[in-house]
Amino acid sequence: MTVLFNKFKENFFAVGPIVLIVLILHFTISPISTPLLVKFIIGSVFVVLGLSIFLMGIDIGITPLGHLIGQALAKSNKLLLVIVAGLVLGFFVSIAEPGLLVLANQVDEVTSGTISSVVILVVVSVGLAVMVALGFIRIFYNVPLYKILFVLYLLIFGIAIFTSPEFLAVAFDASGATTGILAVPFILSLSVGISALKKDSKASEKDSFGLVAIASTGAILSVMLLNIISNTTEFSVGLGSAESEATSVFGAFLAIAPGTLTEGILALLPLLVAFLVLQLLWFKLDKKASKKILKGFLYAFLGLILFFLGVNAGFMEVGIILGRQLASMESSVFVIVVGFVIGFVTIAAEPAVYVLTYQIEDVTSRYVRRKSVLIALTIGVGLAVALSVVRILVPAIQLWHYLLPGYIIAIALSFIVPKLFVGIAFDAGGVATGPMTATFILAYTQGVADTFEGASLLVDGFGMISMVALFPIITLEILGLLYKVKSRKSEVDIKCQ
Amino acid sequence: MSMIPDIKRFELICVIVNYGLGSKVLKIAKQEGISGGTVLLGKGTVKNRLLEILEINDIRKEVVLLVTDCALVDAALKSLDREVQFRKPYHGIAFTIPVGAFLGNGDYNYKSHFIDGGKKENMYQSLFIIVDKGKGEDVMSAATSAGARGGTIINARGSGIHETSKLFNMEIEPEKELVMILAENALIDSIVSEVSTAMEIDKPGNGILFLLNVNKIMGLR
């Protein structure tokens, strides 16, 4: 039974700090109404349960499927097949991503229907699909990741000059939204599966990471191109308040249950279909192995629903309330410090983070430890949230004032950091922006933007996700530098001479 | 160190513990005077009806390989037991295997007659070479040029006495590759000498090499 217990324990310690912080704030500077607090605590229990079950499902269902497909593609040795598979898988994984749907609806609303949500869904998914295919080609032709990223980000910043500032934020947020709860584990395991067959073990290790990073640039590029082509310049600030006024505790959970259910089904369906089709035509796994993967899908589905219920019903409102209350305080120190702390503790509960950190340990035989990656990630996200809050409070600071130097640092570092860490770092950028960030942290910053005079919800509320995607890249590259310096062989003089 | 003692005997200590404990085992071993070790990631299963139905009976394990002087084995196992508590269920297992020959710690010479041992039935030896990540292929090509038929490369991490560095109070154990080659007795000497010159195993920090006796063998033609 200890095995089962350990799985829950690990997630309990990931979510625990968030609850602790909210409770401390509740009893000190920012009291929350009792029903809300009860909802939050029930929500966090749901999150712990949901995370544990979902991650079990990832372990025995989604990750093995990604490895199988990756290896099958690599063995087939046909470039055309690889490209087509990249396009198809990328498109369907992206279009089913719950986070992207939310973003697409927001864009629809903000542009008053000029760009409909369907258009943005399709455009972003196509962008992502093209980039997944490109990422596959990169692995096959051994093109170094940092060169590809250099070119891609150069392109992004070139196009960014012609993009309106509102859309810039949306574009970078889209990259975070597509690399969400299911896409990341699947894309990660795909690239590990493909690279595992390389003869050169060093290259195989490096190439295990980086596909998420390349894929997420596809979303940025496609949204920016969409803006230029459609030439949208008028925006209405009409973001509805995300706060529900349901007073009964269970009513809140029941109210969002149907939506969550469809989200869960939509997200898992493409992968399930892919598995069933490939199982019939290609893998032909024995009954036991295929049953195990199907059970994995079931776990992933159940876990996903519990997790979303907990996050949406319990966490969002608390985030908004905290942001509002702290922003209305006289001293702005608190709202910034709490921003840092929230970013710091929340990221450990992000499902994809768990998947990435274990994947790193697997690929490097635990040379790179989960713990060190987590430390770098939490510091990065904490800084990102704190700086986002500063940006809301100081109207003179614009998003690109952070993003441009940030990405220049990230790209410059990628030339000197060990190449394994370049892949890990840029992947972590996409991984950090999962459902936890998109709900709890986003709600906090939007609460701040909503209350603080002179802050525009559209320009300042968006863009936080792009910060969360950027800062872990830099902190993880710094971690890579530390590893590089530290793991040089010490020239110990040999005693036996 | 003018007098090199007659051949030392070596043993391989193999410890299987729960995920995350590998580095601790390595640390204790080093405190007991063992010069270094290698950790491999593994998977174990639990016998439990419910967990089997749920398909979550796979658990992560770490396998630690330590090659050491026979004289150190008992003390090392004792202090490992104190920390890991092998007696209790689910706390891991440890066992030792006698090592035929050991190379790569700077001061030990390879003595081929030691491994033959005069017994006829031991027609094969298994050769283990542990080198830095990425060098496994070099080992393989050196070994095949000396007549080896093939081999298996396993990812691992580990550290010897020449690699001790810390990051935030956490030991860094560099990545390694463990190469396992099965070969006939007649070929072993030339494979060992080919590999050890190619990899410069005799120089410290370049890896280690050891031999285990093989009793029966199947699938090798």
Integer Cα distance of A131 and A415 in angstroms: 22
pLDDT for B103 equals 78
Nearest residue in A to B137, CA atom: A200
Closest to B68 measured CA to CA, from B94, B96, B28: B96
| Minimum-distance CB partner of A496 among B1, B40, B157 | B1
Q: Which residues contact A273 (CB under 8 A, 6 or more apart)?
A: none
Nearest residue in B to A206, CA atom: B134
Q: At what angle do helices A442-451 and A464-486 cross, to 10 degrees?
A: 130
pLDDT of residue B159 exceeding 60: yes
Q: Which residues contact B142 (CB under 8 A, 6 or more apart)?
A: B194, B195, B198, B199
Scan for tokens 């609460």, then name that residue: A447
Tokens for A275?
């598995």
Integer Cα distance of B221 and B217 in angstroms: 10
Interchain CB distance below 8 Å, B157 and A201:
no
> Is-above-0.90 flag for pTM?
no
Tokens for A305?
């629903």
Integer Cα distance of A375 and A472 in angstroms: 10
**Ranges assigned E (strand) in A95-148:** none
Written as one string, the DSSP assignment of A354-403 is: HHHHHHHHHHTTTSS-HHHHHHHHHHHHHHHHHHHHHHHH-TT--HHHHH
Closest to A433 measured CA to CA, from A370, A368, A364, A356: A356
User: Could you tell me which residues of chain A have a Cβ less than 8 Å from any Cβ in chain B?
Assistant: 1-4, 7, 56, 59-60, 199-202, 205, 291-292, 295-296, 361-362, 364-367, 369, 371-372, 375, 482-483, 486-492, 494-497
Is the Cβ–Cβ distance between A66 and A194 less than 8 Å?
Answer: no
Pairing of strands B102-103, B175-184: unpaired
Question: For residue range B18-37, what is the model confidence (pLDDT) as tens digits?
Answer: 888 888 898 888 888 888 88
Nearest residue in B to A296, CA atom: B55
Closest to B130 measured CA to CA, from B80, B74, B64, B60: B64
Integer Cα distance of B100 and B113 in angstroms: 10
pLDDT for A238 equals 47
CA–CA min distance B75, chain A (Å) = 23
CA–CA min distance A497, chain B (Å) = 7
Interchain CB distance below 8 Å, A365 and B48:
no
Question: For residue range B93-115, what is the model confidence (pLDDT) as tens digits?
Answer: 899 998 877 876 555 555 544 44
pLDDT for A233 equals 59
Tokens for B162?
């020449």
β-partners of residue B63 are B16, B40
Integer Cα distance of B4 and A75 in angstroms: 52
Q: Could you list the mean pLDDT of each consecutive 10-residue stretch along chain A, which spans 497 residues? A: 76 90 88 87 91 90 89 85 90 82 74 78 91 90 89 90 79 79 87 81 83 90 85 55 51 76 84 89 84 91 90 84 85 88 89 89 88 93 92 83 91 92 90 83 84 68 81 94 75 38
Interchain CB distance below 8 Å, A496 and B107:
yes
pLDDT for B178 equals 93
More confidently predicted of B167 and A36: A36
Closest to A185 measured CA to CA, from A347, A308, A357, A47: A357
Tokens for A370?
């989960």
Scan for tokens 């190449």, then name that residue: A419
Integer Cα distance of A169 and A199 in angstroms: 41
Q: Which helix (H) or strand (E) holds B124?
A: strand B124-132
ipTM: 0.79
CA B30 to chain centre: 15
